[in-house]
Amino acid sequence: MNHLDRRDFLTRLTLATAAIAAPGYGFSGVGRADEFVEVATTHGRLRGARNEGVTIFKGIPYGGRVSGDRRFRRPAPIAPWTGVRDALQFGAPAIQAPRRNEPDPAEDCLFLNVWTPASDNRKRPVMFYSHGGGFVGGSGASGGQDGSNLARNFDVVIVETNHRLGLLGFLYLDELAGSDYAGSGNMGMLDITLGLKWVHDNIAQFGGDPNNVMIWGESGGGAKTSCLYAMPDAAPYFNKASIESGPGVRMIAKDVAAETTAMLLKELNIAPKDWRKLLDVPAATLLTIQNKLPSVPPFQEKNRTQSLMRRNYGGFGPVVDGVVLPHHPFDPTAPAISRNKPLLVGWNEDEYTFFAWQSKDTAFAKLDFEGVQKKLEPQYGQDTDKIVDTYRKANPNASAPAVFVAISSITMMGLGSVDIAEKKVKQGGAPVYLYNFGYKSEKKIPGTDYAMGTPHAMDISFKFNNELPPRDGSEPKESYFGGNRPERFAASRHFAELWTTFARTGKPAAKDVPAWPAYNLTTRPTMRIDATCEVIDNRFSQELAMWRSIGKV
Convert the pLDDT of each residue in 495-516 to its tens digit. Answer: 999 999 999 999 999 999 999 9
Supply the pLDDT for residue 144. 87
Hey, is 403 helix, strand or coil?
helix
Convert the pLDDT of each residue in 192-210 to its tens digit. Answer: 999 999 999 999 999 999 9
Supply the pLDDT for residue 470. 87
Q: Please report, for residues 163, 403, 455, the alpha-carbon distance to residue 387 in angstroms, rounded to integers and kept in the order given.
A: 40, 10, 22
Q: Where in the chain is the domain with CATH 3.40.50.1820?
A: 6-252+319-341, 345-549
Convert the pLDDT of each residue in 523-533 to its tens digit. Answer: 999 999 999 99
| pLDDT tier at 20, thresholds 50, 70, 90 | very low
| pLDDT tier at 32, thresholds 50, 70, 90 | low
| pLDDT tier at 361, thresholds 50, 70, 90 | very high
pTM recorded for the entire structure: 0.94
Supply the pLDDT for residue 363. 97
Q: Is the pLDDT of residue 423 over 50?
A: yes
Q: Which residues contact 274 (CB under 8 A, 6 or more apart)?
A: none
Number of alpha carbons in the 13 Å side-chain half-sphere of residue 450: 27
Convert the pLDDT of each residue in 227-277 to its tens digit. Answer: 999 999 999 999 999 999 999 999 999 999 999 999 999 999 999 999 999
Helix axes 369-380, 384-394, angle to 10 degrees: 130
- Residues facing 483 on adjacent strands: 479
Supply the pLDDT for residue 553. 84
DSSP H helical segments within 187-314, as ranges? 187-202, 220-228, 254-267, 283-292
Q: Is the pLDDT of residue 362 over 70?
A: yes
Q: Is the pLDDT of residue 310 over 50?
A: no
State what percent of residues in the chain have pLDDT above 70. Answer: 91
In the CATH scheme, what is the code of domain 6-252+319-341?
3.40.50.1820
| pLDDT tier at 143, thresholds 50, 70, 90 | confident
Residue (of 258, 331, 267) closest to 299 by Cα position: 258
Angular region, 264: left φ>0, alpha ψ -120 to 50, beta rest: alpha
Phi, psi of 411 (to 5 degrees): -75, -30
State what percent of residues in the chain have pLDDT above 90. Answer: 86
Q: Is the pLDDT of residue 398 over 60?
A: yes
Angle value at C-alpha 439, between 437 and 442, nearest 5 degrees? 140
Q: Is the pLDDT of residue 313 over 60?
A: no
Q: How far apart are CA 506 and CA 492, in angstroms?
A: 20
Q: Is the pLDDT of residue 480 over 80?
A: yes
Q: Is the pLDDT of residue 397 over 60?
A: yes
| pLDDT tier at 306, thresholds 50, 70, 90 | very low
Among the CATH numbers 3.40.50.300, 3.40.50.1820, 3.30.350.10, 3.40.190.10, which is that of 345-549? 3.40.50.1820
Supply the pLDDT for residue 472. 84
Supply the pLDDT for residue 121. 85
Q: Is the pLDDT of residue 132 over 80?
A: yes
Supply the pLDDT for residue 314. 58
Q: How far apart are CA 223 and CA 186, in angstroms?
A: 13
Q: Is the pLDDT of residue 311 over 50?
A: no
DSSP H helical segments within 61-218, as ranges? 148-154, 166-170, 174-177, 187-202
Q: Could you give the residue numbers annotated as active site?
A: 219
Q: What is the DSSP letter of 229?
A: T
Q: Is the pLDDT of residue 299 over 60?
A: no
Supply the pLDDT for residue 303. 39
